[in-house]
Structure formats: structure tokens, C-alpha cells
Amino acid sequence: MTAPPRTTITLFAALRHANLGGALAGMVTAGLMLGVLMFFSLRAQVTANLDLIARTIAYSTEAALMFNDTVTTQEILAQIAQQEKLAMATVINQAGEVLAHTGQDGNRKTVNLLIDHLVFPSPTEVRVVSHQQILGRVSIRGNGEVFALFFLKAVIAIVVSLLLTGVATLFFTRKAERSITRQLDTLAKNTLIRRMSRAPGEPLKIAEFQQIDTQFRDLLAELDAKTAELVAHKMSLEDANASLSYQANHDELTDLGNRAYFNDCLARVLARASTHGGMLAILYMDSDHFKKINDQYGHAVGDLFLVKTAQSIQRAVRRSDTVARLGGDEFAVLLAPLESLDVAQRVAEKILATPDLVILDNGKELVFKLSISIGIAIYPDAGEDSKTLLKAADRAMYTSKKSGGGCYSVASSQPQKGV
């Protein structure tokens, strides 16, 4: 028997080459498609996480931005940036000035910075908004190295899976060759029909793709878990921020609004009144005997006296009115809207007519008469801006004090005793 020419190949070699070539082409194509799909899917997930992180920073730094607190803003920013492994994070105030910044751009290699900009072409930015007022914005950029490492692990998992698929394909290809050889031997000995048979399929190829799909779903599940963790962290920060915001705007002793809160309310009411018209009144109050009570009975009784005074003032006004403790024994009431001066005078008379205050001091009952000097300033008669109105109310209050206290005075009018 003559040997086949060296330029020819056997049927089994041709089958082997066809199977291996098809499997290799299929694996390479599938690997590339999965790699591209995974890259863009992971980047979309990471971009969504960056947006959530930026909003978390915005909620966390809202109170600090409101007071232009650089130190607190920097601490919050550095903590979150380190925890989330950000390449860069910046907080910019409303004036466009950088209030806080963290990042290692100056200490990182050029190739690392290039990876950051390739993975995240533009930084993620969100605005910091409080009471419909833009306080500034937050700008962050993700760490491309972390993303690249995460993506590299996914690629390695794909490559390992495809290699296993290749080994399985080679195994079953050779098994098919042996099966075909046995079938051809049978065909040679028996009949042509009996020698005909089909080569086995390649079920493991589908199984490998199912395995890769499972790994990809596991990766997405990890990202979803991370997103849920960030959402929970964001809610926790929101609660903490709400608590800080409340503390920043309220008096710790009386739980009334403080001076900053009162000024903010006054500014909003004045803006509305200047646009739509109407009246409002400021009642500026100062206790006539607080210093004497505080010196004689001590600070504990003095604090209780202030709390009782605040409660009495609150009972004398409407729920829609604003009561604040400006500091020490000074209180203020914002009456808005106001129908007439008579309404403000009736409120002042009601405050002055408050029953005696009863305070328990170590089981001993102390009774104090609430004597308050009140100054009333009416918008727009006494002024059209908050500074002018507060000064007018303050002067009217001192007019009441000079008249002996326990009375009210309207700006540019004579003091009036309470009923």
C-alpha cells in the first residue's frame, strides 16, 4: 500500500483541526464579546455607585457648607474618599472656591492617572442643595486602578473558564475521533449503512458558557450588595445630617429656634411680603429680673426659668408664628402674616398677662412673676429689611425697660402696660 503524500492529511486530522479551529474561534469571539460587555456593564455600575457616593458626600457636607466650615468638610471628605478608594474628591462652595480637596494626583504615576481618565473620562458631579438653595457642588473621580484590578480578575476568570472549555473540547474531540474510528472499522467489516454514525456533540461548550454567565451574575450581585450598603450608609448620613442641621438651628436649652434660624425665617417672610405685600411684626423681648434670679438661686433655677418663659411665650402665640431664643434671656417672636397692629398688641398683652411661673428646686416650690420688656416693630412701617426691623424692635424694647419693664412699646410709640 502506497503511503499518502506529505501534503495531504488524514480524515481524523482534518476533523481534529476543524473542531479545534471552530472551538478556538468560538472561544476567542465569546471571550472578546463577554470582555467588552463586562467592561461597559461594570463601568455603568461603578458610575452609578460614584453618583451615589457623590450624593452621600453632598448630604454629609451640607451643614458644613452652610457655615463654610472648611475643617469639617475636609474631614468628612477625606473619610469617605479613603473608605471608597476615590482617586480625587473636591467640595466647591457657591462662590466657586475649593472648600475641601483630597486626592493623590501629585503622588501617582502618569500611567495610573491615564487609567483613571480612560476608565472615568469625566468626574462625577452633584450639587449640594439646602432649602432649594445651591450651597455648592461635589466633584469626584473613581480610582481606575481599583476598577482595572477588578476587571482583570473578571478577565482572568473568563480566560480560566475558556481554557477549561478548550481542554474539555480537546478531550471530547479525541473521544469523537476514537468513536468515529470504531464506527469506521465496523463499517469496513459490515455494511455501509451500519458504518454510518454521527459524531457526538459538544455539550460542555454550552456548560462553560453557563459557568461564565454564573460568574458574571455573581459579580453583579456583589455590586448590588455594595450599592445596598451605600444606600444604607447614605440613609444613616442623612439622619445624622438632619440631626446636625436641627442642632445648628435650635437652642439646646429651650428647644426653640436660635438666632440663625430666626434670621432665616425672617428673611424668607420678608422676601414673600415684598413680592406679595402684607404686614408682619417682630416682638423683641428681654426678661426684667432674670439676672437677679440667676444670681440668687443659681444657674439650674435660671435655666428652668428660661424654659418656663419659653413655654409661656409659645402658648401666647399662634402655631404659625415663629418663636426663638436669641441668646441669654432675649427672645423674639415673628408674627406673620399680620392683619393689623392690634393683633401684635394683643399677643404682647397675652404674654405680659402670663400667670406666675412655678419652679421646683430640690423639692422646694419657687414662684416667680414673669416680667418682660417687649419691643414691637411692624413691617413695613418700622423698616423694610431685617436689620432695620430688628434694630427698631430692640430700641422699642429698651424703651419698655426704661419705663420700668413689664410692658410693651411699639417702634415710634409710647410704652403700653400689659392687661
Residue 413: give its domain's CATH number: 3.30.70.270
Asked whether residue 214 carries a pLDDT value surpassing 80, the answer given is no
The set of residues, in sequence order, having a beta carbon less than 8 Å from that of 181 and lying 6+ positions away, is 12
State whether 327 and 194 are in the same domain.
no
Domain's final residue, options 205, 223, 249? 249
Residue 254 covered by a domain: no
Q: What is the pLDDT of residue 301?
A: 92
Distance between CA 71 and CA 68 in Å, rounded?
Answer: 9
State whether 305 and 263 are in the same domain.
yes
**Mean pLDDT, range 58-86, rounded to an integer:** 82
State whether 162 and 278 are in the same domain.
no
Domain's final residue, options 223, 249, 275? 249
Higher pLDDT, 371 or 418: 371
State whether 128 and 277 are in the same domain.
no
Domain's final residue, options 226, 249, 272? 249
**Mean pLDDT, range 355-379, rounded to an integer:** 89
State whether 79 and 173 are in the same domain.
yes
State whether 264 and 204 are in the same domain.
no
Catalytic center residues: 329
Residue 402 covered by a domain: yes
Could you tell me the CA-to-CA distances from 162 to 152, 209, 390, 410 in Å, in that order? Answer: 15, 8, 78, 88
Could you tell me the CA-to-CA distances from 85 to 81, 125, 145, 339 in Å, in that order? Answer: 6, 17, 10, 58
Residue 4 covered by a domain: no
How does the average pLDDT of the chain come out, rounded?
78
Residue 340 covered by a domain: yes
Residue 286 covered by a domain: yes
Tell me how many domains the chain contains. 2
CA trace torsion 359, 361, 364, 365 (10° rounding): -10
State whether 228 and 272 are in the same domain.
no
Q: What is the pLDDT of residue 211?
A: 58
Q: What is the pLDDT of residue 365?
A: 87
201: number of Cβ within 10 Å = 10
State whether 208 and 269 are in the same domain.
no
Residue 180 covered by a domain: yes
State whether 347 and 408 are in the same domain.
yes
Residue 2 covered by a domain: no
Q: Comparing 68-72, 203-207, 253-257, 326-330, which segment has the lowest mean pLDDT?
A: 203-207
359: number of Cβ within 10 Å = 19
pTM here is 0.45
Residue 1 covered by a domain: no
State whether 91 and 144 are in the same domain.
yes
Domain hosting residue 364, numbered range:
259-417
Asked whether residue 200 carries a pLDDT value surpassing 80, the answer given is no
State whether 200 and 278 are in the same domain.
no
Higher pLDDT, 155 or 283: 283
State whether 243 and 280 are in the same domain.
no
Which neighbouring-strand residues pair with 368?
357
Asked whether residue 82 carries a pLDDT value surpassing 70, the answer given is yes
Residue 13: give its domain's CATH number: 3.30.450.20
